[in-house]
């Protein structure tokens, strides 16, 4: 219980903490900026129909009109209460809003899904520069959100790192500038492809695979390089909740909540982004209408409510989901109305977490219904039950665990994993055994050689490197006259290869390479009555000499194969072969993928460390 308590406190600290990432307090007054405001004019005005000054245009004119409304309202300035989405209408047709709705109303005054008509946020053009990239040559154009005294006086309700950052920018291809005429008779540019892209620090900087933001940004850059248009890049991490809150939401997704429920469980709206700067930037660039590069109809609605003329959309669908972001994309499609996915999700690898969230039912129960089997009875109040459960689930089955490390009791997956593995071997099944992270950090198929069938051998070959080995006791290899393959063994792990063999033609062997032939050879090697003359050398099966006393002497798969076969009641000869990655076919499968592989195919997963501890326990008990 002390370990669970400590971990629960650590997780709760994470969920409640807010780091200062992008604070409105960090906005420098434009009068003090070292490079000035390029003409001292605001790009946007209260009246969006007016021509706006642009520092690089000869026909610019200054405007001192600055909106007086703050960017954010404090939480106690709710204004009119919105209609509750989840409760029945009362007698007067209006009910008290939920906490999330009140927060959303505080963040997005005026309703309209976060926008009210004409609620543009003024920005000032700062500078423009060349941006050579690995995708192409672009221009990068910087803006700064203007300050307001009222906005500075009140903090963001979601925390100091949340909300829209102060410095949006625009990216466009150097040879395809998207600018139109501003104020001229011909009007501005029409139907310009525009991507409104919100910052994703975890994906674009840390290369996270939990979302598709990095891929969509790259797709958008490639698109505007070929077709023209622009990307308006906004500092709105985690759909506007900020980096620290996003990490807190990720921690809830680790134990099964989807991206929407994670936000709402933390007390946030599912989407806190604002796009008030977009009309100002488009007006600055002389763009009258756009084709929005998006799969999100909600973004079209929000921009339209701001007066942006969206004449069409351009799909931005990644070619395939990965196991880490598939559930996220499924949630965007099912709960956030994202379109254009087609059959992409069905053709993508399975998600790590289940789509129905059944394994986190404890999080979704009504507050007045106690869990059937609470995991942290002493810490039920203030969300600590959820935190303790999250820690327990993570310790029991961490999908991101990179390798096997034994705990204080000597086990990694637990004694039960060894018992289940022994039972599976006794039934003639394949099991998956991983070694230590500091050793090979690989997983091998293992089964009892005397129970092999052609079908099981084919299964071995299908998912493995195909180099089928058989661990055997040294004295038996001597009886079969199987000497070491080389006199001076230089293998880094001291794997004791002998000469390779096939059973002879008298036993039905043809070429020796087929699954049927290799099965026959394997069973012959496990047969205590077989003689040296039953084999010819070289062949297609690789006998390996196991150390005496098995894994308690050497922590190798060779010894594990012999031990498992013996513990299962079979001849002490075990087949083994390394498993190849399905996700990265040029590499070997490592533990995170092996967990998913075993879950998908129904294999028992255990480790050499677990087998070592199991033998110590059982042999001491005897």
Please indicate whether residue 58 or residue 238 has the higher confidence score (pLDDT). Answer: 238
pLDDT at 54 over 50: no
Architecture of the domain delimited by 415-621: Alpha-Beta Complex (3.90)
pLDDT at 506 over 80: yes
How many whole angstroms separate alpha carbon 525 and alpha carbon 482?
11
Q: Class of the 123-152+164-236+273-340 domain?
A: alpha beta
Return the percentage of the chain with pLDDT > 70, whole number.
68
How many whole angstroms separate alpha carbon 147 and alpha carbon 125?
14
What end-to-end distance do the CA atoms of the chain give, in Å?
A: 31
Among 356, 355, 318, CA closest to 340: 318
- Burial level of 599, CB count in 10 A (0-12/13-18/19+)? middle
Among 468, 587, 594, 479, CA closest to 528: 479
- What Rg value do the Cα atoms of the chain yield, rounded? 32
Tell me where in the chain the CATH 3.40.50.10990 domain(s) lie: 123-152+164-236+273-340
Most confident range, picked from 81-90, 429-438, 542-551 = 542-551
Q: In what order do the strands lie in the sheet with 123-132?
A: 123-132, 137-145, 169-173, 230-234, 192-198, 289-293, 309-314
- Burial level of 58, CB count in 10 A (0-12/13-18/19+)? exposed
Among 246, 205, 191, 198, CA closest to 220: 198
pLDDT at 369 over 50: no
pLDDT at 354 over 70: no
Can the peptide bond before residue 323 be classed as cis, meaning omega within 30 degrees of 0? no
Q: What is the pTM of this model?
A: 0.45
Contact of 568 with 550, CB cutoff 8 Å:
no
Q: What is the mean pLDDT of the chain?
A: 76
How many whole angstroms separate alpha carbon 190 and alpha carbon 174?
19
Please name the helix (run of DSSP H) or strand (run of DSSP E) that holds residue 279, with its range, or none. helix 277-285
Q: In the predicted model, what is the mean pLDDT of residues 389-405?
A: 48
| The pair of three-digit structure tokens given for residue 372, joined into one six-digit string | 């059937």
Tell me where in the chain the CATH 3.90.870.10 domain(s) lie: 415-621
Q: In the predicted model, what is the mean pLDDT of residues 574-586?
A: 93
Q: Which residues of 193-220 are buried (b: 16+ CB within 10 A; e: fewer)?
A: bbbbbbbbebbbeeebebbbbbbbbebb
Most confident range, picked from 92-96, 137-141, 394-398 = 137-141
DSSP 376-427: -TT--GGGHHHHHHHHHHHHH--TT--SB---TTS-SS-HHHHHHHHHHHHT
Q: In the predicted model, what is the mean pLDDT of residues 260-288?
A: 89
Q: How many CB atoms lie within 10 A of CB 565?
A: 28
What's the gap between Cα 360 and its chain centre? 18
Please indicate whether residue 344 or residue 605 has the higher confidence score (pLDDT). Answer: 605
Contact of 590 with 442, CB cutoff 8 Å:
yes
Please indicate whether residue 222 or residue 156 has the higher confidence score (pLDDT). Answer: 222
Among 481, 427, 451, 461, CA closest to 580: 461
How many whole angstroms separate alpha carbon 157 and alpha carbon 355?
31
How many whole angstroms separate alpha carbon 317 and alpha carbon 321?
10
Q: In the predicted model, what is the mean pLDDT of residues 308-320?
A: 90
How many whole angstroms separate alpha carbon 622 and alpha carbon 8?
39
DSSP conformational letter for 224: H
pLDDT tier at 158 (50, 70, 90 boundaries)?
low
| The pair of three-digit structure tokens given for residue 197, joined into one six-digit string | 């892209």
pLDDT at 175 over 60: yes
Give the pLDDT score at 220: 95
Please indicate whether residue 532 or residue 48 has the higher confidence score (pLDDT). Answer: 532
How many whole angstroms separate alpha carbon 2 and alpha carbon 426?
39
């Amino acid at each position: 219980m002390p370990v669970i308590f400590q971990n629960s406190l650590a997780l709760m600290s994470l969920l409640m903490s807010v780091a200062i990432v992008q604070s409105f307090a960090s906005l420098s007054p434009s009068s003090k900026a070292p490079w000035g405001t390029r003409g001292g004019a605001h790009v946007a005005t209260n009246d969006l129909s007016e021509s706006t000054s642009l520092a690089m245009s000869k026909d610019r004119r200054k405007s001192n009109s600055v909106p007086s409304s703050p960017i954010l309202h404090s939480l106690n300035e709710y204004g009119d209460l919105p209609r509750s989405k989840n409760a029945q209408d009362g007698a007067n047709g209006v009910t008290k809003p939920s906490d999330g709705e009140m927060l959303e109303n505080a963040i997005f005054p005026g309703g309209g899904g976060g926008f009210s008509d004409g609620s543009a946020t003024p920005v000032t053009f700062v500078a423009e520069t060349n941006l050579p990239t690995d995708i192409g040559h672009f221009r990068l154009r910087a803006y700064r959100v203007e300050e307001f005294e009222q906005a500075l006086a009140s903090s963001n309700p979601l925390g100091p790192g949340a909300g829209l950052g102060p410095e949006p920018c625009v990216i466009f291809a150097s040879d395809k500038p998207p600018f139109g005429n501003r104020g001229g008779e011909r009007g501005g540019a029409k139907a310009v492809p525009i991507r409104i892209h919100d910052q994703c620090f975890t994906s674009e900087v840390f290369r996270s695979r939990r979302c598709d933001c990095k891929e969509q940004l790259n797709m958008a850059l490639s698109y505007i390089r070929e077709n023209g248009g622009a990307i308006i890049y906004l500092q709105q991490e985690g759909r506007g909740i900020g980096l620290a809150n996003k990490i807190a939401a990720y921690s809830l997704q680790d134990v099964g909540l989807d991206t929407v429920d994670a936000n709402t469980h933390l007390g946030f709206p599912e989407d806190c982004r604002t796009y008030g700067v977009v009309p100002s930037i488009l007006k600055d660039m002389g763009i009258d209408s756009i084709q929005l590069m998006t799969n999100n109809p909600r973004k079209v609605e929000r921009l339209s409510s701001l007066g942006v003329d969206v004449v069409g959309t351009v799909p931005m669908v990644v070619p395939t989901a990965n196991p880490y972001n598939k559930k996220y994309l499924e949630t965007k499609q099912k709960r956030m109305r994202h379109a254009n996915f087609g059959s992409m999700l069905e053709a993508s690898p399975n998600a790590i977490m289940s789509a129905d969230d059944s394994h986190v039912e404890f999080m979704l129960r009504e507050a007045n219904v106690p869990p059937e089997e609470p995991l942290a009875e002493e810490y039920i109040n203030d969300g600590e039950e959820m935190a303790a459960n999250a820690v327990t689930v993570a310790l029991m089955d961490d999908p991101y665990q990179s390798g096997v490390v034994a705990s204080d009791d000597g086990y990694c997956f637990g004694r039960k994993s060894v018992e289940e593995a022994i039972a599976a071997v006794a039934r003639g099944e394949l099991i998956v055994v991983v070694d230590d992270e500091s050793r090979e950090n690989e997983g091998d198929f293992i089964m009892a050689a005397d129970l092999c069938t052609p079908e099981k051998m084919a299964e071995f070959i299908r998912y493995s490197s195909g180099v089928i080995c058989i661990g055997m006791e040294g004295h038996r290899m001597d009886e079969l006259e199987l000497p070491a393959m080389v006199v001076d063994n230089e293998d880094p792990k001291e794997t004791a290869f002998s000469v390779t063999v096939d059973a002879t033609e008298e036993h039905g062997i043809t070429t020796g390479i087929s699954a049927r032939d290799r099965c026959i050879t394997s069973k012959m090697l496990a047969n205590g009555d077989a003689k040296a003359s039953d084999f010819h050398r070289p062949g297609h099966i690789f006998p390996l000499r196991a150390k005496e006393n098995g894994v308690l002497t050497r922590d190798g798969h060779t010894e594990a194969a012999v031990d498992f076969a013996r513990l299962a009641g079979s001849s002490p000869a075990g087949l083994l072969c390394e498993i190849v990655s399905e996700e990265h076919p040029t590499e070997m499968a490592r533990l995170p993928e092996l967990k998913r592989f075993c879950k998908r195919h129904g294999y028992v997963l255990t480790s050499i460390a677990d087998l070592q501890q199991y033998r110590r326990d059982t042999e001491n008990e005897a």
